[in-house]
Structure 1
Amino acid sequence: MLPVLRFHRGWLRPVSRADAGFLRGLLNLPDVRRYLCDDKVLTEHEVAAWLSEHEPFGADGLGLWVIETDTLGAVGLAGLTPVTGPHQSDPEMAGRIEPTIALEPRVWGQGLAREALTMLIHYARDGLKLTGLVAAADAPNADSHRMLTACGFERFGETSGVLHKLILYRQRFVRSTHRTDTE
């Protein structure tokens, strides 16, 4: 089971099937689906299938979380999942783990996406002991590019996407090699 991950102004709680309606509404908002869903409107069945697809990852500590705050309730989606989509054919992306962040437009520009991504990075590095993460963002999605670079990702390439060119990012985690006097 996935842990609840707390950050400064909110928390990430594991997604459940009861969240299907919220997620369908979020993923079908025009400003969210434009890049995250390649502008495709998702049906109730597609969202349920997508949730089922991600359930098995929970055993590995990967999966999907709902982003919540005390004052606003559920406002978004966060995830750590294996790379899928057109960018999985890139050798640097294949078999790696990527974060996903989606927020309701009413809370854009408030730093919640950045806080949630930072929490996912800490969890991936310290909790899951991953050696790094990768990410892909549609070329015209300037907000995602700013967030990824602000959170320590570096651009390393590009590939074709469904609607737009995808810019590829990676973040390698540095492990401390510091030894104490007692070692």
Structure 2
Amino acid sequence: MQDVVLTTPRLKLRPMVEGDIPAHFALFADPEVARYWSREPWTDMTQAEESIRAIIAAREDGSEVRFGIELLSSGELIGNVGLHHFFGQNRRCEIGYALVSKVWNQGYATEALRAAIQHGFDALDLNRIEADIDPRNIGSGRVLEKLGFRKEGYMPERWLVFGEFADTVNYGLLRRYWEA
């Protein structure tokens, strides 16, 4: 699969590389981020190394399109957004994203997701993009709804995180919602 770089007014979305391992580790070692990522915070750099290797392999085999989110102003990697779990026959996939907590509430998630979603509908010819979030993650819900996603379902106790069960809210975005 060809490497794609997307640019927004403040961000560059680009393929993740081995040099991203330290920033990737810092992202998922942050308990505030991991809280809503359905897994415990990372505690060892090898977790980031394995994750980056998997991201690169998925890009190469075409099973995932994951972008590192980089600030244009500094080149700092502040998170990632990925389109994954593609169902080609149905032209749909899932979207996932995480940003370092120090940049929350500055519009970066909305900006990055808008670019990734547009890429999904235009370049990948998707008809539907799905997301699932912890309903307590109010900020993420706002981002999805601002981008046109609609709540479609609720799954109680879907994940076990930090020793407690967490619920999931399912969201969907159709191409026709996006284009409206």
TM-score by length of 2: 0.82
1:25 match: secondary structure: helix
Report how many aligned residue pairs link the two structures. 165
Check if 1:133 corresponds to 2:129: yes
Check if 1:76 corresponds to 2:79: yes
Question: What residue in structure 2 maps to residue 162 of structure 1?
Answer: 160
1:22 match: secondary structure: helix
Check if 1:2 corresponds to 2:11: no
CA contact (8 A) 2:34 2:40 kept: yes
Structure of higher CA gyration radius: 1
Question: What residue in structure 2 maps to residue 99 of structure 1?
Answer: 95
- Unaligned runs of 5+ residues in structure 1 are 84-93, 176-183
C-alpha separation between the residues in 2 aligned to 1:154 and 1:80? 18
CA contact (8 A) 1:55 1:63 kept: no
Q: CA RMSD in A?
A: 2.3
**Structure-2 change in CA distance of 1:56 and 1:41 (3 Å):** closer
- The one-letter amino acid of 1:161's match is W
Q: 1:116 aligns with which of 108, 112, 115?
A: 112
Q: How much does 1:41 deviate?
A: 2.4
CA contact (8 A) 1:80 1:99 kept: yes
1:156 match: secondary structure: strand
- The one-letter amino acid of 1:114's match is T
Cα deviation, 1:133-174, whole Å, max 9, x if unaligned, reads: 000001211111111111111111122222310100111113
Q: How much does 1:61 deviate?
A: 7.5
C-alpha separation between the residues in 2 aligned to 1:138 and 1:38? 12
- Unaligned runs of 5+ residues in structure 2 are none
- The one-letter amino acid of 1:36's match is W
Q: How much does 1:42 deviate?
A: 4.4
CA contact (8 A) 1:134 1:171 kept: yes
Q: How much does 1:119 deviate?
A: 0.5
Question: What residue in structure 2 maps to residue 67 of structure 1?
Answer: 69
**Structure-2 change in CA distance of 1:16 and 1:100 (3 Å):** same
Cα deviation, 1:120-142, whole Å, max 9, x if unaligned, reads: 11000001111110000012111
C-alpha separation between the residues in 1 aligned to 2:176 and 2:9? 24
Cα deviation, 1:85-133, whole Å, max 9, x if unaligned, reads: xxxxxxxxx9952222211222111101000000011000001111110
Task: Specify which structure has the higher proportion of strand.
Answer: 2
TM-score by length of 1: 0.81
- The one-letter amino acid of 1:39's match is E
Question: What residue in structure 2 maps to residue 174 of structure 1?
Answer: 176
Question: What residue in structure 2 maps to residue 51 of structure 1?
Answer: 52
What percent of counterpart residues are identical? 26
